[in-house]
Amino acid sequence: MKKLLVEGGTRLRGQVRVGGAKNSAVALLPAAILANSTVTIEGLPDISDVQTLSELLEEIGGTVRKDGQTVEIDPSTMISMPLPNGRVKKLRASYYFMGAMLGRFNKAVIGLPGGCHLGPRPIDQHIKGFQALGAEVTNEQGAIYLRAKELRGARIYLDVVSVGATINIMLAAVKAKGRTVIENAAKEPEIIDVATLLASMGAKIKGAGTDVIRIEGVDELNGCLHTIIPDRIEAGTYTIMAAAQGEEMIIDNVIPQHLESLLAKLREMGVTIEENDEQLYVRPGKSLKSVDIKTLVYPGFPTDLQQPFTSLLTQATGTGVVTDTIYQARFKHIDELRRMNAAIKVEGGAAIVAGPSKLQGAKVKATDLRAGAALVIAGLMADGITEITGIDHIERGYENITNKLIELGGKIWCEEMSKEEVEQFQNS
Protein backbone atom coordinates (compact mmCIF):
# COMPACT_ATOMS: atom_id res chain seq x y z
CA MET A 1 0.00 0.00 0.00
CA LYS A 2 1.31 3.45 -0.91
CA LYS A 3 1.06 6.93 0.53
CA LEU A 4 1.47 10.24 -1.26
CA LEU A 5 3.92 12.84 -0.02
CA VAL A 6 3.70 16.52 -0.90
CA GLU A 7 6.32 19.08 0.02
CA GLY A 8 4.65 22.46 0.04
CA GLY A 9 5.81 25.90 -0.94
CA THR A 10 6.86 25.53 -4.58
CA ARG A 11 4.91 27.67 -7.06
CA LEU A 12 3.37 25.72 -9.96
CA ARG A 13 4.12 26.88 -13.47
CA GLY A 14 3.49 25.62 -17.00
CA GLN A 15 0.84 23.66 -18.83
CA VAL A 16 -1.21 20.68 -17.70
CA ARG A 17 -3.37 18.57 -20.01
CA VAL A 18 -6.74 17.40 -18.71
CA GLY A 19 -7.88 13.85 -19.47
CA GLY A 20 -11.26 12.45 -20.51
CA ALA A 21 -14.18 12.89 -18.13
CA LYS A 22 -14.41 10.20 -15.44
CA ASN A 23 -18.16 10.60 -15.06
CA SER A 24 -18.64 10.19 -18.83
CA ALA A 25 -16.18 7.32 -19.14
CA VAL A 26 -17.91 5.33 -16.43
CA ALA A 27 -21.20 5.48 -18.33
CA LEU A 28 -19.82 5.19 -21.89
CA LEU A 29 -18.13 1.86 -21.10
CA PRO A 30 -21.31 0.13 -19.81
CA ALA A 31 -23.31 1.76 -22.66
CA ALA A 32 -21.27 -0.35 -25.09
CA ILE A 33 -23.12 -3.43 -23.75
CA LEU A 34 -26.13 -2.27 -25.79
CA ALA A 35 -24.39 -2.44 -29.19
CA ASN A 36 -24.31 -5.41 -31.60
CA SER A 37 -20.69 -4.78 -32.66
CA THR A 38 -17.50 -3.02 -31.60
CA VAL A 39 -17.70 0.34 -29.85
CA THR A 40 -14.49 2.37 -29.86
CA ILE A 41 -14.04 5.13 -27.30
CA GLU A 42 -11.17 7.60 -27.66
CA GLY A 43 -9.64 9.78 -24.95
CA LEU A 44 -10.46 7.64 -21.92
CA PRO A 45 -8.71 8.73 -18.72
CA ASP A 46 -6.09 6.44 -17.18
CA ILE A 47 -7.89 5.95 -13.85
CA SER A 48 -8.80 2.91 -11.79
CA ASP A 49 -12.57 3.34 -12.34
CA VAL A 50 -11.99 2.78 -16.09
CA GLN A 51 -9.85 -0.27 -15.34
CA THR A 52 -12.48 -1.75 -12.99
CA LEU A 53 -15.30 -1.22 -15.50
CA SER A 54 -13.21 -2.76 -18.31
CA GLU A 55 -12.71 -5.83 -16.10
CA LEU A 56 -16.45 -5.98 -15.42
CA LEU A 57 -17.15 -5.88 -19.18
CA GLU A 58 -14.76 -8.81 -19.58
CA GLU A 59 -16.36 -10.62 -16.66
CA ILE A 60 -19.68 -10.71 -18.58
CA GLY A 61 -17.93 -12.10 -21.67
CA GLY A 62 -17.00 -8.97 -23.63
CA THR A 63 -13.65 -8.37 -25.31
CA VAL A 64 -11.91 -5.16 -24.27
CA ARG A 65 -8.81 -4.02 -26.16
CA LYS A 66 -6.93 -1.01 -24.79
CA ASP A 67 -4.39 0.96 -26.76
CA GLY A 68 -3.32 4.04 -24.80
CA GLN A 69 -6.41 6.17 -24.30
CA THR A 70 -8.47 4.25 -26.86
CA VAL A 71 -10.59 1.29 -25.88
CA GLU A 72 -12.41 -1.07 -28.25
CA ILE A 73 -15.24 -3.05 -26.71
CA ASP A 74 -16.73 -5.98 -28.58
CA PRO A 75 -20.01 -6.72 -26.79
CA SER A 76 -21.23 -9.44 -29.17
CA THR A 77 -20.21 -12.33 -26.90
CA MET A 78 -21.53 -10.84 -23.66
CA ILE A 79 -24.00 -12.76 -21.53
CA SER A 80 -26.28 -11.68 -18.71
CA MET A 81 -23.91 -12.81 -15.95
CA PRO A 82 -24.96 -11.91 -12.41
CA LEU A 83 -22.52 -9.45 -10.79
CA PRO A 84 -23.65 -9.46 -7.18
CA ASN A 85 -20.28 -8.86 -5.52
CA GLY A 86 -16.62 -8.20 -6.20
CA ARG A 87 -15.66 -5.38 -8.55
CA VAL A 88 -19.13 -3.74 -8.56
CA LYS A 89 -18.50 -2.66 -4.95
CA LYS A 90 -15.31 -0.80 -5.89
CA LEU A 91 -17.04 2.11 -7.57
CA ARG A 92 -20.29 4.00 -7.90
CA ALA A 93 -20.80 3.70 -11.62
CA SER A 94 -21.25 -0.08 -11.63
CA TYR A 95 -24.93 0.89 -11.27
CA TYR A 96 -24.87 1.59 -15.05
CA PHE A 97 -24.62 -2.18 -15.60
CA MET A 98 -28.24 -2.29 -14.35
CA GLY A 99 -29.64 -0.05 -17.10
CA ALA A 100 -27.36 -1.37 -19.85
CA MET A 101 -27.86 -5.09 -19.10
CA LEU A 102 -31.60 -4.62 -18.59
CA GLY A 103 -31.70 -2.79 -21.95
CA ARG A 104 -29.85 -5.56 -23.76
CA PHE A 105 -30.93 -8.79 -22.00
CA ASN A 106 -34.17 -7.76 -20.20
CA LYS A 107 -32.55 -8.98 -17.00
CA ALA A 108 -29.65 -8.24 -14.68
CA VAL A 109 -28.37 -9.02 -11.19
CA ILE A 110 -26.05 -6.32 -9.91
CA GLY A 111 -24.71 -5.73 -6.40
CA LEU A 112 -25.35 -2.37 -4.75
CA PRO A 113 -22.62 0.05 -5.89
CA GLY A 114 -19.68 1.44 -3.92
CA GLY A 115 -18.10 4.83 -4.63
CA CYS A 116 -17.34 7.78 -2.39
CA HIS A 117 -18.99 7.82 1.05
CA LEU A 118 -20.73 11.17 0.97
CA GLY A 119 -23.70 10.37 3.21
CA PRO A 120 -26.76 8.47 1.92
CA ARG A 121 -26.68 7.77 -1.84
CA PRO A 122 -29.96 5.99 -2.57
CA ILE A 123 -30.82 4.64 -6.04
CA ASP A 124 -34.60 4.79 -5.65
CA GLN A 125 -35.01 7.02 -8.73
CA HIS A 126 -33.08 4.54 -10.91
CA ILE A 127 -35.40 1.78 -9.68
CA LYS A 128 -38.51 3.92 -10.16
CA GLY A 129 -37.40 4.42 -13.78
CA PHE A 130 -36.72 0.71 -14.43
CA GLN A 131 -40.10 -0.19 -12.94
CA ALA A 132 -41.88 2.40 -15.09
CA LEU A 133 -40.28 0.74 -18.14
CA GLY A 134 -41.83 -2.57 -17.08
CA ALA A 135 -39.09 -4.24 -15.04
CA GLU A 136 -39.75 -6.12 -11.85
CA VAL A 137 -37.09 -5.02 -9.36
CA THR A 138 -36.21 -6.71 -6.08
CA ASN A 139 -33.39 -6.26 -3.61
CA GLU A 140 -32.16 -9.64 -2.45
CA GLN A 141 -29.30 -9.68 0.06
CA GLY A 142 -27.73 -6.48 -1.21
CA ALA A 143 -28.05 -7.23 -4.92
CA ILE A 144 -30.64 -5.71 -7.25
CA TYR A 145 -32.52 -8.25 -9.40
CA LEU A 146 -34.11 -6.79 -12.52
CA ARG A 147 -36.37 -8.79 -14.84
CA ALA A 148 -38.72 -7.73 -17.65
CA LYS A 149 -40.70 -9.67 -20.26
CA GLU A 150 -40.29 -6.67 -22.49
CA LEU A 151 -39.34 -3.04 -21.80
CA ARG A 152 -41.94 -0.47 -22.85
CA GLY A 153 -41.40 3.28 -23.10
CA ALA A 154 -42.92 5.40 -20.32
CA ARG A 155 -43.15 8.94 -18.97
CA ILE A 156 -40.87 9.17 -15.93
CA TYR A 157 -40.67 12.19 -13.64
CA LEU A 158 -37.58 12.17 -11.41
CA ASP A 159 -38.42 13.29 -7.88
CA VAL A 160 -34.76 14.22 -7.38
CA VAL A 161 -32.51 15.57 -10.14
CA SER A 162 -30.05 12.69 -10.47
CA VAL A 163 -27.16 12.23 -12.88
CA GLY A 164 -27.04 8.46 -12.32
CA ALA A 165 -30.81 7.91 -12.63
CA THR A 166 -31.04 10.04 -15.80
CA ILE A 167 -28.27 8.09 -17.54
CA ASN A 168 -29.43 4.70 -16.25
CA ILE A 169 -32.98 5.28 -17.52
CA MET A 170 -31.57 6.41 -20.89
CA LEU A 171 -29.58 3.16 -21.10
CA ALA A 172 -32.62 1.01 -20.28
CA ALA A 173 -34.96 2.97 -22.58
CA VAL A 174 -33.04 3.24 -25.87
CA LYS A 175 -34.10 -0.28 -26.95
CA ALA A 176 -37.51 -0.30 -25.21
CA LYS A 177 -40.68 -0.45 -27.32
CA GLY A 178 -42.08 3.01 -27.96
CA ARG A 179 -41.45 6.42 -26.45
CA THR A 180 -39.83 7.32 -23.12
CA VAL A 181 -39.87 10.83 -21.68
CA ILE A 182 -37.62 11.62 -18.71
CA GLU A 183 -38.82 14.75 -16.92
CA ASN A 184 -36.79 16.73 -14.37
CA ALA A 185 -33.71 15.09 -15.90
CA ALA A 186 -30.19 16.12 -14.86
CA LYS A 187 -28.40 18.41 -17.35
CA GLU A 188 -24.70 17.67 -16.72
CA PRO A 189 -22.37 17.70 -19.77
CA GLU A 190 -21.68 13.99 -19.16
CA ILE A 191 -25.34 13.26 -19.92
CA ILE A 192 -24.99 14.94 -23.31
CA ASP A 193 -21.81 12.92 -23.91
CA VAL A 194 -23.59 9.63 -23.19
CA ALA A 195 -26.55 10.66 -25.38
CA THR A 196 -24.09 11.49 -28.19
CA LEU A 197 -22.57 8.00 -27.97
CA LEU A 198 -26.03 6.38 -27.93
CA ALA A 199 -27.12 8.48 -30.95
CA SER A 200 -23.95 7.39 -32.82
CA MET A 201 -24.97 3.80 -32.04
CA GLY A 202 -28.34 4.51 -33.69
CA ALA A 203 -30.50 5.51 -30.72
CA LYS A 204 -33.21 8.13 -31.20
CA ILE A 205 -32.69 10.51 -28.33
CA LYS A 206 -33.47 14.23 -28.02
CA GLY A 207 -33.18 16.85 -25.34
CA ALA A 208 -30.07 15.65 -23.44
CA GLY A 209 -28.71 18.71 -21.62
CA THR A 210 -32.24 20.00 -20.94
CA ASP A 211 -34.56 18.77 -18.22
CA VAL A 212 -36.76 16.79 -20.63
CA ILE A 213 -35.19 13.91 -22.55
CA ARG A 214 -37.24 12.12 -25.23
CA ILE A 215 -36.31 8.68 -26.50
CA GLU A 216 -37.91 6.59 -29.26
CA GLY A 217 -36.89 2.97 -28.76
CA VAL A 218 -35.09 1.15 -31.60
CA ASP A 219 -34.60 -2.60 -32.14
CA GLU A 220 -30.84 -2.62 -32.75
CA LEU A 221 -27.88 -0.48 -31.78
CA ASN A 222 -24.65 -0.64 -33.75
CA GLY A 223 -20.97 -0.23 -32.97
CA CYS A 224 -19.47 3.24 -33.43
CA LEU A 225 -16.53 5.52 -32.68
CA HIS A 226 -16.84 8.13 -29.94
CA THR A 227 -14.47 10.73 -28.49
CA ILE A 228 -15.05 11.56 -24.84
CA ILE A 229 -15.37 15.12 -23.47
CA PRO A 230 -12.66 16.53 -21.17
CA ASP A 231 -13.03 16.11 -17.42
CA ARG A 232 -14.46 19.38 -16.04
CA ILE A 233 -13.77 18.28 -12.46
CA GLU A 234 -10.11 17.45 -13.12
CA ALA A 235 -9.84 20.75 -15.03
CA GLY A 236 -11.50 22.57 -12.14
CA THR A 237 -9.14 20.94 -9.65
CA TYR A 238 -6.04 22.14 -11.55
CA THR A 239 -7.60 25.59 -11.95
CA ILE A 240 -8.06 25.74 -8.18
CA MET A 241 -4.44 24.56 -7.74
CA ALA A 242 -3.33 27.35 -10.08
CA ALA A 243 -5.24 29.89 -7.99
CA ALA A 244 -3.82 28.42 -4.78
CA GLN A 245 -0.19 27.85 -5.64
CA GLY A 246 0.36 28.73 -9.29
CA GLU A 247 2.50 31.44 -10.80
CA GLU A 248 1.13 31.18 -14.29
CA MET A 249 -0.62 28.04 -15.43
CA ILE A 250 -2.35 26.90 -18.59
CA ILE A 251 -5.02 24.27 -18.21
CA ASP A 252 -5.30 22.54 -21.58
CA ASN A 253 -8.15 20.43 -23.03
CA VAL A 254 -11.00 22.19 -21.24
CA ILE A 255 -14.48 23.27 -22.30
CA PRO A 256 -14.61 26.56 -20.36
CA GLN A 257 -18.44 26.72 -20.53
CA HIS A 258 -18.55 23.57 -18.38
CA LEU A 259 -16.80 25.46 -15.57
CA GLU A 260 -18.63 28.78 -15.60
CA SER A 261 -19.75 28.62 -11.97
CA LEU A 262 -16.21 27.85 -10.72
CA LEU A 263 -14.59 30.50 -12.92
CA ALA A 264 -17.08 33.13 -11.73
CA LYS A 265 -16.27 32.35 -8.08
CA LEU A 266 -12.50 32.39 -8.69
CA ARG A 267 -12.76 35.76 -10.45
CA GLU A 268 -14.82 37.06 -7.50
CA MET A 269 -11.88 36.04 -5.28
CA GLY A 270 -9.43 38.06 -7.37
CA VAL A 271 -7.98 35.38 -9.67
CA THR A 272 -7.30 36.38 -13.29
CA ILE A 273 -8.50 33.80 -15.79
CA GLU A 274 -8.37 34.13 -19.55
CA GLU A 275 -10.03 31.52 -21.71
CA ASN A 276 -10.07 30.38 -25.30
CA ASP A 277 -11.95 27.45 -26.86
CA GLU A 278 -9.96 24.79 -25.05
CA GLN A 279 -7.59 26.38 -22.56
CA LEU A 280 -7.63 28.41 -19.38
CA TYR A 281 -4.77 30.73 -18.52
CA VAL A 282 -4.72 31.33 -14.77
CA ARG A 283 -2.82 33.97 -12.80
CA PRO A 284 -3.53 34.18 -9.07
CA GLY A 285 -4.32 37.58 -7.55
CA LYS A 286 -1.89 39.24 -5.10
CA SER A 287 -4.35 38.38 -2.35
CA LEU A 288 -7.48 36.28 -2.38
CA LYS A 289 -10.84 37.49 -1.05
CA SER A 290 -13.19 34.99 0.64
CA VAL A 291 -16.46 34.05 -1.05
CA ASP A 292 -19.39 31.83 -0.15
CA ILE A 293 -20.27 28.83 -2.32
CA LYS A 294 -23.38 26.68 -2.52
CA THR A 295 -23.29 23.50 -4.58
CA LEU A 296 -26.20 22.93 -6.94
CA VAL A 297 -27.09 20.72 -9.88
CA TYR A 298 -25.47 21.73 -13.20
CA PRO A 299 -24.90 24.49 -14.21
CA GLY A 300 -24.59 25.45 -10.53
CA PHE A 301 -21.37 25.04 -8.55
CA PRO A 302 -20.45 21.31 -8.74
CA THR A 303 -20.40 19.35 -5.50
CA ASP A 304 -17.32 17.51 -6.83
CA LEU A 305 -15.32 20.77 -6.64
CA GLN A 306 -16.59 21.80 -3.22
CA GLN A 307 -13.85 19.97 -1.31
CA PRO A 308 -10.90 21.22 -3.43
CA PHE A 309 -12.37 24.75 -3.29
CA THR A 310 -12.55 24.61 0.51
CA SER A 311 -8.75 24.15 0.62
CA LEU A 312 -8.33 27.31 -1.47
CA LEU A 313 -10.65 29.26 0.85
CA THR A 314 -8.22 28.65 3.74
CA GLN A 315 -5.87 31.10 1.98
CA ALA A 316 -8.45 33.83 1.36
CA THR A 317 -8.98 36.84 3.57
CA GLY A 318 -12.29 36.84 5.41
CA THR A 319 -14.92 34.20 6.08
CA GLY A 320 -16.28 31.86 3.40
CA VAL A 321 -19.39 29.74 3.94
CA VAL A 322 -19.55 26.43 2.04
CA THR A 323 -22.95 24.77 1.68
CA ASP A 324 -23.39 21.48 -0.17
CA THR A 325 -27.04 21.05 -1.18
CA ILE A 326 -26.33 17.79 -3.07
CA TYR A 327 -24.49 15.91 -0.29
CA GLN A 328 -25.15 17.73 2.99
CA ALA A 329 -22.50 15.67 4.78
CA ARG A 330 -19.67 15.93 2.24
CA PHE A 331 -17.35 17.38 4.86
CA LYS A 332 -15.00 14.52 5.81
CA HIS A 333 -12.04 16.52 4.47
CA ILE A 334 -12.59 19.24 7.06
CA ASP A 335 -11.13 17.28 9.99
CA GLU A 336 -8.06 16.53 7.90
CA LEU A 337 -7.65 20.17 6.83
CA ARG A 338 -7.93 21.15 10.50
CA ARG A 339 -4.99 18.85 11.26
CA MET A 340 -3.08 21.05 8.83
CA ASN A 341 -4.00 24.15 10.83
CA ALA A 342 -6.97 25.31 8.77
CA ALA A 343 -9.54 27.35 10.69
CA ILE A 344 -12.80 25.67 9.65
CA LYS A 345 -15.88 24.75 11.64
CA VAL A 346 -18.96 22.87 10.49
CA GLU A 347 -22.10 24.54 11.79
CA GLY A 348 -25.73 24.18 10.76
CA GLY A 349 -24.83 22.02 7.77
CA ALA A 350 -22.24 24.49 6.43
CA ALA A 351 -18.46 24.69 6.62
CA ILE A 352 -17.29 28.09 7.73
CA VAL A 353 -13.74 28.82 6.63
CA ALA A 354 -11.81 31.67 8.24
CA GLY A 355 -8.69 32.75 6.42
CA PRO A 356 -5.97 33.18 5.68
CA SER A 357 -4.32 30.35 7.69
CA LYS A 358 -0.70 29.26 7.44
CA LEU A 359 -1.12 25.57 6.68
CA GLN A 360 1.33 23.05 8.17
CA GLY A 361 2.24 19.69 6.66
CA ALA A 362 0.66 16.76 8.55
CA LYS A 363 -0.29 13.09 8.29
CA VAL A 364 -3.78 13.03 6.78
CA LYS A 365 -6.18 10.56 5.20
CA ALA A 366 -8.06 10.86 1.93
CA THR A 367 -11.52 9.62 2.93
CA ASP A 368 -12.87 9.93 -0.60
CA LEU A 369 -11.80 11.05 -4.09
CA ARG A 370 -12.28 14.82 -3.88
CA ALA A 371 -11.20 14.91 -0.21
CA GLY A 372 -7.94 13.49 -1.58
CA ALA A 373 -7.69 16.31 -4.13
CA ALA A 374 -8.42 18.85 -1.39
CA LEU A 375 -5.52 17.45 0.67
CA VAL A 376 -3.11 17.53 -2.29
CA ILE A 377 -3.98 21.21 -2.79
CA ALA A 378 -3.54 21.91 0.93
CA GLY A 379 -0.22 20.01 0.89
CA LEU A 380 1.06 22.14 -2.01
CA MET A 381 0.33 25.30 0.01
CA ALA A 382 1.54 24.05 3.41
CA ASP A 383 4.87 24.45 5.17
CA GLY A 384 6.74 21.15 5.27
CA ILE A 385 5.65 17.71 4.15
CA THR A 386 2.08 16.37 4.03
CA GLU A 387 1.61 12.59 4.01
CA ILE A 388 -1.65 11.44 2.46
CA THR A 389 -2.97 7.89 2.92
CA GLY A 390 -6.04 6.44 1.16
CA ILE A 391 -4.65 7.28 -2.27
CA ASP A 392 -6.67 4.55 -3.99
CA HIS A 393 -9.55 7.02 -3.78
CA ILE A 394 -7.51 9.62 -5.67
CA GLU A 395 -6.54 7.04 -8.32
CA ARG A 396 -10.25 6.42 -9.02
CA GLY A 397 -10.53 9.84 -10.61
CA TYR A 398 -7.23 11.65 -11.25
CA GLU A 399 -4.93 10.24 -13.93
CA ASN A 400 -1.18 10.53 -13.29
CA ILE A 401 -1.67 13.28 -10.72
CA THR A 402 1.88 12.85 -9.41
CA ASN A 403 3.51 13.20 -12.83
CA LYS A 404 1.25 16.06 -13.88
CA LEU A 405 2.20 18.00 -10.73
CA ILE A 406 5.92 17.19 -11.08
CA GLU A 407 5.77 18.61 -14.64
CA LEU A 408 4.34 21.80 -13.13
CA GLY A 409 7.24 21.98 -10.64
CA GLY A 410 5.41 20.44 -7.67
CA LYS A 411 7.29 18.32 -5.15
CA ILE A 412 5.18 15.20 -4.86
CA TRP A 413 6.01 11.51 -4.73
CA CYS A 414 4.71 8.11 -3.60
CA GLU A 415 6.27 5.89 -0.94
CA GLU A 416 5.46 2.38 0.21
CA MET A 417 3.78 2.42 3.66
CA SER A 418 5.42 0.50 6.50
CA LYS A 419 3.59 -2.48 8.04
CA GLU A 420 2.72 -0.37 11.11
CA GLU A 421 1.38 2.44 8.92
CA VAL A 422 -0.81 0.02 6.96
CA GLU A 423 -2.21 -1.42 10.22
CA GLN A 424 -2.85 2.06 11.59
CA PHE A 425 -4.55 3.09 8.34
CA GLN A 426 -6.76 0.01 8.29
CA ASN A 427 -7.88 0.56 11.88
CA SER A 428 -8.55 4.29 11.47
Ligand X SMILES: CC(=O)N[C@H]1[C@@H](OP(=O)(O)OP(=O)(O)OC[C@H]2O[C@@H](n3ccc(=O)[nH]c3=O)[C@H](O)[C@@H]2O)O[C@H](CO)[C@@H](O)[C@@H]1O
- Interatomic CA distance for residues 71 and 116, integer angstroms: 25
Binding-site size, ligand PEP (CB under 6 A): 10
Quick one: which of 30, 150, 9 has its CA closest to 97?
Answer: 30
Q: Find the part of the chain contacting ligand PEP (CB under 6 A) among 10-18, 89-97, 181-189, 200-208.
A: 89-97
Active-site residue 116, yes or no?
yes
Q: Is residue 307 a contact point for ligand X (CB under 6 A)?
A: no
**3-state helix/strand/coil string of 94-113:** HHHHHHHHHHHHCEEEEECC
Q: Is residue 164 a contact point for ligand X (CB under 6 A)?
A: yes
**E-strand spans in 253-367?**
272-275, 279-283, 293-295, 318-324, 343-347, 350-355, 363-365
Pairing of strands 70-74, 63-67: antiparallel
Choose the contact partner of 126 out of ligand X, ligand PEP, none; CB within 5 to 8 A by kind.
ligand X
Q: Given 116, 170, 182, 198, which residue is catalytic?
A: 116
- Interatomic CA distance for residues 191 and 163, integer angstroms: 7
Q: Is residue 370 a contact point for ligand PEP (CB under 6 A)?
A: yes
Q: Are 23 and 11 in contact (CB under 8 A)?
A: no
Nearer to ligand X by Cβ, of 327 and 331: the residue is: 327
The answer to whether the annotation marks 92 as part of a ligand binding site is: yes
Q: Is residue 310 a contact point for ligand X (CB under 6 A)?
A: no
The residue number whose beta carbon is nearest to ligand PEP equals 115
Residues numbered 23 to 62 that lie near ligand X (CB under 6 A) are 23, 26
Nearer to ligand X by Cβ, of 74 and 304: the residue is: 304
Nearer to ligand X by Cβ, of 372 and 410: the residue is: 372
CA 39 and chain centroid, separation: 22
Q: Is residue 369 a contact point for ligand PEP (CB under 6 A)?
A: yes
Angle at 63 between CA 57 and CA 65, to 5 degrees: 105
Residues numbered 293 to 322 that lie near ligand PEP (CB under 6 A) are 304
The answer to whether the annotation marks 125 as part of a ligand binding site is: yes
Q: Is residue 146 a contact point for ligand X (CB under 6 A)?
A: no
Q: Find the part of the chain contacting ligand PEP (CB under 6 A) among 86-94, 132-140, 249-257, 342-350.
A: 86-94
| Residue 144 C-beta: closest distance to ligand X, Å | 12
Q: Is residue 365 a contact point for ligand PEP (CB under 6 A)?
A: no
Q: For the residues of 6-60, what is the DSSP string, one character each?
A: EETTPPEEEEEE--B-HHHHHHHHHHGGG-SS-EEEES---SHHHHHHHHHHHHT
- Interatomic CA distance for residues 234 and 44, integer angstroms: 13
Quick one: which of 156, 97, 162 has its CA closest to 123?
Answer: 162
Q: Which residues are near ligand X by CB under 6 A?
A: 23, 26, 92-93, 120-126, 160, 162-165, 186, 303-304, 326-327
Question: What are the residue numbers of the active site?
Answer: 116
Q: Which residues are near ligand PEP by CB under 6 A?
A: 22, 91-93, 115-116, 304, 369-370, 397
